[in-house]
Structure 1
Amino acid sequence: MQDSDVPAWWQRLGLPGMIDVHVHFMPDRVMRAVWNYFDNVAESFGRAWPITYRGTEAERVAQLHALGVRRFSALLYPHKPDMAESLSTWARDFAARTLGCVPTGTFFPEPSAERYVREAVEAGTVIFKAHVQVGAYDPRDPLLAPVWGLLAEAGTPVVVHCGSGPMPGAHTGPGPIGEVLAAHPTLTAVIAHAGAPEYAEHVALARRYPNVHLDTTMVGTAYLEDLAPLPADVVAAFGELQDRVVLGADFPNIPYPYAEQLDALERFGLGDDWLRAVCWDNGARLIGAPDLPAALG
């Protein structure tokens, strides 16, 4: 399948489009820094990571719309203190001027975190991102305890990159986030990349905690299969957890076309009902369904 085939793919499923919870938009200077990182990762883990959708902000939004992504996040994340609040403000402004985008936030372990996360929730932020690997912080940091508690109480989902792929960090893996969930068992945590490469361990967290979801970002694609092959029993578990697996694609920071993610989901062989749940229903429950024109709805 090519990107031009994607609308026909979701139309075959009887969907009005797709909802993608793992999309990145950031201020230009930050996005350029992220792309620069990916341009230089080959030396770190042995293979290139070319950015497929390296266009202007307007071009990238138009590409999502052309694919039929009706609702999406603008995930962004800090790598140091005194950065998260301004990123969250930017993301709310971006959502206000971008069709289909939901207000997105982020945080970092710092004394102001509880305040600005609370303000973001009160301002209508729909989803947050926590990147344990890039931020190089411990999710169990006491400064984050009130943040996790606040998000759990509000029922606001947070996409957490806690798996050890593509490279492990000091606090990645299922252990630290597992302790966070033990302390906040109602937290709506969306495990990015389904926790790759520790798939089974993160599936176990989803089975243990009723609000834990897994996103499909890069999962099953040839690129990630070379780095972190997906065991057959984990694919079966995705089927059992049908109502808690959500579409994530990592657009625009992927080294292949968007359509390859959908091909990967199809290859799991879990059926059309599963695809409909993953590509629309579950995302709609987490971040809301868009208002659609009558011709689409």
Structure 2
Amino acid sequence: MVTEQDSDAGVRDWWRSLGLPGLIDLHVHFLPERMERRVWHHFDHGGPLVGGGWPITYRGTAEERVARLRELGVTSFPALAYAHKPDMARDLNAWTLDFARRTPGCLPSATFYPEPGVTAYVEDALAAGARIFKVHLQVGAFDPRLPELDGVWGLLADSGAPVVVHASSVPVPGGFVGAEPIAAVLRRHPRLRVVIAHLGMPEYDPFFELAFRYERVALDTTMAFTDFSEERMPFPARLRPALRDLGIAGKVVLGSDFPTIPYPYAHQLAALARLDLGDGWLRAVCWHNGAAMI
């Protein structure tokens, strides 16, 4: 249960108490207005794990949401968008790259989809300054092992740009989710900098194994350990030592899913703190690990 102590008003004091200059959040979404409205309509009116509606804590204009991130002290964040059908990604990339150009603190981000010309437009996005990518294998319903994506994965491995990949079966199983499809990509491109969204919940174990096996594979904390997720997909206590070790090794980064979260931003931070893995671990996860990637 989220309580009054999780108020966002205390976020700046929280990271200052750790000696940090702010927060780096690598899992934030900003979308073109029409697309944003459609996403919010889905959350308002049900869907997998949404039930009778998912309260979105941070509505408002893009400008208002950027201002809220600044109030919280989030100094670096992407505008992660992702394509779910052909002929979307190029336009989304134009939008997210422009949004970053006019939004201080926003990391230039891009996406891709298996379609003709995909390697060329990913190359264009990198040339235009894209520093982080996002793909959602469940929503996109595509196999990351498709031959038309091999050149893309190679480009991204060479660039070192992190790719935030939603590869787990939450909110519902289906498509090309689970660890094996993205593991097959990593076997071919072991230098790929993949960030597994949501710690891979609920399939924590195989995604943790990938993080230990591959030098550049990391996990983001998005929604993990919160009351919302613990009620549905609890993090196994036996993996806590592995979580600690991966965090100290630079392989766990802060993610939130802002703005589409059903609780205050502060609750994600409180959920990390109550793991009791130490201030050094929190400093690494909330700042240093993300800074090293971008």
TM-score (norm 2): 0.95
- Alignment correspondent of 1:22: 27
Instruction: Could you tell me which runs of 5 or more consecutive residues in structure 1 were left unpaired when the two chains were aligned.
Output: 288-297
Matching residue of 1:250:
257
Q: Equivalences for 1:84-233 in 2 at 5 Å?
A: 84-233=89-238
In structure 2, what is the equivalent of residue 39 of structure 1?
A: 44
Deviations 1:172-230 (A, max 9, x none): 11111111111111100000001011011100000110100000000000111122110
Given residue 19 of structure 2, which amino acid in structure 1 is its aligned partner?
A: G
- Is 1:48 aligned to 2:53, yes or no? yes
Q: Within 2, Cα distance between the matches of 1:173 and 1:277?
A: 27
User: Could you tell me which residue of structure 2 aligns to residue 271 of structure 1?
Assistant: 278
Aligned residues, how many?
Answer: 287
Are positions 1:78 and 2:52 aligned together?
Answer: no
Alpha-carbon spacing, 1:281–1:91, altered in 2? closer, same or farther (3 Å): same
The CA deviation string for residues 228-269 of structure 1, in whole angstroms up to 9 with x for no partner, is 110012222110102110000000010111001001100111
Q: Distance in 1 between matches of 2:239 and 2:155?
A: 31
Question: Would the alpha carbon gap of residues 99 and 112 (structure 1) be closer, same or farther in structure 2, given more than 3 Å must change?
Answer: same
2:70 paired with 1:65? yes
1:280 corresponds to 2:287? yes
Measured in 1, the distance between the counterparts of 2:50 and 2:96 equals 31
Deviation at 1:88, TM superposition (A): 0.6
- Contact preservation (8 Å) 1:160, 1:191: yes
Q: CA RMSD, aligned part only?
A: 1.1
Q: Structure 2 CA distance, aligned partners of 1:231 and 1:272?
A: 21
Map Cα deviations across residues 139-190 of structure 1 (whole Å, 9 max, x no partner): 1111111111110011111000001111122111111111111111110000
Q: Distance in 2 between matches of 1:233 and 1:206?
A: 16
Task: Report how far residue 85 of structure 1 moved.
Answer: 0.7
Kept in 1, the 8 Å contact 2:45–2:52? The answer is no
Identity %: 57
Secondary structure, in 3 states, of the residue corresponding to 2:107? coil
What amino acid does structure 1 have at the position aligned with 2:270?
Answer: D
Identify which range, 21-30 or 228-237, moves more after superposition: 228-237
SS in structure 2 of the partner of residue 72 of structure 1? strand
Equivalent in the alignment of 1:292:
none
SS of structure 2 residue aligned to 1:273: helix
Q: Report the Cα distance in structure 2 between the residues aligned to 1:192 and 1:161, rounded to whole angstroms.
A: 5
1:40, CA displacement in angstroms?
Answer: 2.5
| One-letter amino acid matched to 2:153 | W
Stretch deviating more after TM superposition (43-52 or 257-266) = 43-52
Give the secondary structure class of the aligned counterpart of 2:106. coil
Structure 2 alignment gaps of length 5 or more = 1-5
Q: What secondary structure is seen at the aligned counterpart in 2 of 1:241?
A: helix
State the match for 1:239 in structure 2.
244
SS of 2:219's equivalent in the other structure is strand
- CA deviation after TM superposition for structure 1 residue 42, in Å: 5.0
